[in-house]
């Protein structure tokens, strides 16, 4: 049985139009998750360790104010296009579109005011919550009125996130959730003792601005071969890696498949990621620097969390040999990701 509660969480600042932000608490016997109507943010996710103790395993803030200030997309749904678009430009049907540059020379996670920084309209479901918004034609430089639905449902140990969209003009779209996890407990110093595996035979090498070069490289014999579980800290040392911020290429298809698994031996917590998406960005919180004060006054230093963002491949709109990222009028964008929490 999943229970769903809605509570007030705060008000948007007047310069942001005011507006009530609500929190939706989804709870089963195994998992408790709190989701905000601002940015569809997963603000809290509590799951049991092997002794049955609940701990919060996602980074974030105690108050709305933390989320309305600048932060690295903690827990939010990002779009209209997740990840990076080179030089903030793309061409469609002979017309060039220019986006806001918010990541060096590139556009990242939807631009200056992406889906993570807006209020969504909520609808309570028996076992979850559905959020809706209309992204108007021209918002952040993207073409077409885009209707978007993001649905969170909790069933036992499994949190499902479904993304649907329809457009009035051809537009690129790639949606993901940007939760930062630490299976020890949020606020722990690092994730070096986590064991991770990713079911991917290839990955995308990137240039010095994190844009894919266009090569689809085999993981075999490299530090990107995560097909068998590796202990993160030892693995980064062994391959002299500063961390991961790379797209791993998943087997294509619309069916649900297991794509990643993380195990935290001290607590016994495990997290599996299943998805219908063609890629997963593995990010190890390389840009966290301890400057943000998170929940319970926790500091979040470098490598104190990991993200597994299921999505289309970065810069796919400029790389025709990457999976199709365009949504046309009359079509439906529809992807689901499932996070399954267990103990071992």
Q: What domains can you pick out in the chain, each with its CATH number?
A: 3-192+283-343 (2.70.98.10)
The pLDDT tens digits along the chain (344 residues) read 999 999 999 999 998 888 999 999 999 999 999 999 999 999 999 999 999 999 999 999 999 999 999 999 999 999 999 999 999 999 999 999 999 999 999 999 999 999 999 999 999 999 999 999 999 999 999 999 999 999 999 999 999 999 999 999 999 999 999 999 999 999 999 999 999 999 999 999 999 999 999 999 999 999 999 999 999 999 999 999 999 999 999 998 889 999 999 999 999 999 999 999 999 999 999 999 999 999 999 999 999 999 999 999 999 999 999 999 999 999 999 999 999 999 99
- Pull the structure tokens for residue 143: 């073409």
User: Would the annotation count 83 as a binding residue?
Assistant: yes
> Alpha-carbon distance 82 to 111, whole Å?
10
Please identify which residue in the block is written with the tokens 């998170």: 294
Point out the catalytic residue in the list 109, 178, 264, 335. Answer: 178
User: Would the annotation count 157 as a binding residue?
Assistant: no
> Alpha-carbon distance 123 to 245, whole Å?
34
Write down the pLDDT at residue 124: 98
What stretch of H or E contains 36? strand 31-36
Contact between residue 36 and residue 9 where contact means Cβ atoms under 8 Å apart = yes
Q: How many other CB atoms are found less than 10 A from the CB of residue 173?
A: 23
Annotation says 309 is catalytic:
yes
The string over 70-101, giving b where at least 16 C-beta atoms fall within 10 Å of a residue's C-beta and e elsewhere, is ebbbbbbbbbbbbbbbbbbbbeeeeeebebeb
Annotation says 251 is catalytic:
no
Point out the catalytic residue in the list 140, 194, 309, 335. Answer: 309
User: Would the annotation count 162 as a binding residue?
Assistant: no
Note if the pTM is more than 0.85: yes
User: Would the annotation count 180 as a binding residue?
Assistant: yes
């Amino acid at each position: 049985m999943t229970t769903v509660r809605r509570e007030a969480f705060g008000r948007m600042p007047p310069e942001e139009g005011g507006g009530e932000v609500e929190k939706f608490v989804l709870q089963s016997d195994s998992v408790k998750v709190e989701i905000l109507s601002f940015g569809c943010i997963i603000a809290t996710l509590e799951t049991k360790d092997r002794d049955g103790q609940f701990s919060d395993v996602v980074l974030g803030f105690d108050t709305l104010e933390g989320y309305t200030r600048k932060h690295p997309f903690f827990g939010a749904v990002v779009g209209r296009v997740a990840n990076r678009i080179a030089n903030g430009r793309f061409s469609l049907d002979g017309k060039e579109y220019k986006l806001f540059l918010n990541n060096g020379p590139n556009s990242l996670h939807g631009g200056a005011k992406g889906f993570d920084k807006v209020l969504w309209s909520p609808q309570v479901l028996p076992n979850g919550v559905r959020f809706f918004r209309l992204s108007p034609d021209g918002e952040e430089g993207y073409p077409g009125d885009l209707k978007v639905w993001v649905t969170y449902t909790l069933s036992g140990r499994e949190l499902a996130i479904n993304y649907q969209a329809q457009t009035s003009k051809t537009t690129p779209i790639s949606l993901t959730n940007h939760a930062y996890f630490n299976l020890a407990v949020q606020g722990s110093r690092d994730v070096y003792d986590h064991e991770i595996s990713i079911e991917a035979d290839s990955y995308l090498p990137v240039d010095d601005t994190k844009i894919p070069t266009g090569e689809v490289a085999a993981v075999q014999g490299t530090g990107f071969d995560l097909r068998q579980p590796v202990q993160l800290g030892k693995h980064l040392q062994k391959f002299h890696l500063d961390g991961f911020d790379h797209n791993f290429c998943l087997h294509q298809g619309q069916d649900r498949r297991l794509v990643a698994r993380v195990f935290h031996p001290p607590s016994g917590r495990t997290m599996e990621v299943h998805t219908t998406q063609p890629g997963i960005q593995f990010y190890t919180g390389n840009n966290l620097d301890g400057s943000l004060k998170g929940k319970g006054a926790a500091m979040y230093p470098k490598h104190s969390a990991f993200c597994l963002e299921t999505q289309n491949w970065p810069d796919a709109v400029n790389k025709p040999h990457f999976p199709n990222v365009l949504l046309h009028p009359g079509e439906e964008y529809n992807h689901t990701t499932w996070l399954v929490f267990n103990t071992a």
